[in-house]
């Protein structure tokens, strides 16, 4: 033992050489290349954030296409809410959803156009019928929604002239406008009446027209020979199903056919077939 009672190292146990401080720090600190990569990445992220949220790449121009029944000002009103917003952060699904709330729009496709453009293409609902009211001629989609309005005396485009046309004389129909809807049961009943083959009723008419009024409901109208048949409303009574309404229509068709079998059609001017079990007629 050494003086003071401390043990002395044996000669066979030499002290391990210590690593220099610079070397130890080098093993713990990242390399210069790694630091450079981190700084470059941070710069890129900062640049991207600045680019996205800065004064560049913001919506300054909007364009739309595909509309026929949708007024352009309605589309512009929706798109105007996005002018000035960062182009790359726009939610196209949100914009398409807002456009689809417009009465005539079935769906919309939204595209960003660098550096500052927002473009929209709308796909509108297909017209299924025209519905005359005392105030206007309305364009209906297959679900009964009103997607367009034309003056009552306007000449129809070819694609609308081929569609079923219903003349609604009811007082309440004056309030119908784009964005509202004709009850689907009424639209389906009118379409079925217009599809009736005159031969099923024993009629010599070429085709039938359909009119609706407050008192008699749906009316079948023949021009040559001229007569009208009152049929009432379908699915208007509480609990009447579509199948029951159509069964009543079949009974009405059979009743009118029986009437025309008993007396010449040309002598009949008015038929009340609302109750197919008791049909009234007048010259």
Q: What is the CATH number of the domain that holds 223?
A: 3.40.50
Residue 76 placed within a domain: yes
| 113/147 same-domain check | no
Tell me the pTM. Answer: 0.76
Instruction: Give the domain range for residue 230.
Output: 127-282
Say if 133 falls within a structural domain: yes
256-273: pLDDT as tens digits: 999 999 999 999 999 999
Same domain membership, residue 135 and residue 86: no
- CA 90 to CA 94: how far, in whole Å? 8
Which 3 state secondary structure label does DSSP give 138? strand
What is the DSSP secondary structure assignment for residue 86, as one 8-state letter? B
d(CA 155, CA 153) in angstroms, rounded, equals 7
CB 88 within 8 A of CB 52: yes
Q: Does the residue 21 lie in any domain? A: no
Confidence bin at 51 (pLDDT 50/70/90): very low
Mean pLDDT of the chain: 87
pLDDT tens, residue by residue, 194-205:
999 999 999 999
CB of 58 within 8 A of CB of 86? yes
Q: Are 56 and 162 in a shared domain?
A: no
Q: Domain containing 92 — which CATH number?
A: 3.10.20.310
Task: Classify residue 204 as exposed, middle or buried by CB count within 10 Å of its CB (0-12, 13-18, 19+).
Answer: middle
Q: Are residues 68 and 157 in the same domain?
A: no
Of 102, 124, 146, which residue constitutes the final position of a domain? Answer: 124
Provide mean pLDDT across the span 240-248. Answer: 94
pLDDT at 140 over 70: yes
The reply to whether 171 and 273 lie within a common domain is: yes
**Last residue within a domain, chosen from 79, 102, 124:** 124
Question: Quick one: pLDDT at residue 21?
Answer: 54
Residue 162 lies in a domain: yes
CA distance 203 to 60: 64
Domain boundary residue among 65, 96, 124? 124
**128/53: higher pLDDT:** 128
Q: Could you read off the pLDDT of 170-196 as tens digits, one per residue?
A: 999 999 999 999 999 999 999 999 999
Residue 28: the pLDDT is: 57
Number of domains present in the structure of the chain = 2
One domain, residues 179 and 263:
yes
Does 180 map to a domain? yes
What average pLDDT does the segment 81-108 reach? 94
- 233: number of CA atoms within 13 Å, CB side? 15
**Residue 225 or 46, more confident:** 225
Same domain? 148 vs 215: yes
Question: Is residue 52 pLDDT above 50, yes or no?
Answer: no
- Tell me if 25 is assigned to some domain: no
Does residue 253 fall inside a structural domain?
yes
Q: Is the pLDDT of residue 45 over 50?
A: no
Query: What pLDDT is stored for residue 53 in this prediction?
Result: 53
| Residue 234 counted as domain residue | yes
Domain shared by 106 and 197, yes or no: no
State how far Cα 88 lies from the chain centre. 26
């Amino acid at each position: 033992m050494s003086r003071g009672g401390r043990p002395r190292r044996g000669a066979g146990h030499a002290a391990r050489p210590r690593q220099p401080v610079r070397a130890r720090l080098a093993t713990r600190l990242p390399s210069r290349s790694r630091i450079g990569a981190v700084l470059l990445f941070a710069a890129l992220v900062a640049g991207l954030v600045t680019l996205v949220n800065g004064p560049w790449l913001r919506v300054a121009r909007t364009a739309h296409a595909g509309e026929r029944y949708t007024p352009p000002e309605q589309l512009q009103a929706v798109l105007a809410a996005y002018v000035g917003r960062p182009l790359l952060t726009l939610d196209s699904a949100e914009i398409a959803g807002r456009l689809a709330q417009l009465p005539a729009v079935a769906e919309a496709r939204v595209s960003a156009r660098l550096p500052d453009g927002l473009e929209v293409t709308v796909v509108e609902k297909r017209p299924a019928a025209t519905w005359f009211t005392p105030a206007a001629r309305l364009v209906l989609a297959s679900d009964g929604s009103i997607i367009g309005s034309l003056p009552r005396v306007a000449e129809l485009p070819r694609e609308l002239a081929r569609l079923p046309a219903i003349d609604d004389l009811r007082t309440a129909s004056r309030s119908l406008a784009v964005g509202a809807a004709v009850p689907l049961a009424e639209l389906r009943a009118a379409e079925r009446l217009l599809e009736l083959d005159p031969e099923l009723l024993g009629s010599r008419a070429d085709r039938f027209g359909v009119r609706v009024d407050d008192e008699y409901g749906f009316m079948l109208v023949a021009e040559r020979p001229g007569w009208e048949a009152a049929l009432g409303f379908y699915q208007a009574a509480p609990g009447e199903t579509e199948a029951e309404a159509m069964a009543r229509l079949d009974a009405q068709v059979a009743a009118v056919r029986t009437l025309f079998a008993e007396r010449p059609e040309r002598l009949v001017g008015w038929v009340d077939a609302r109750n197919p079990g008791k049909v009234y007629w007048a010259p």
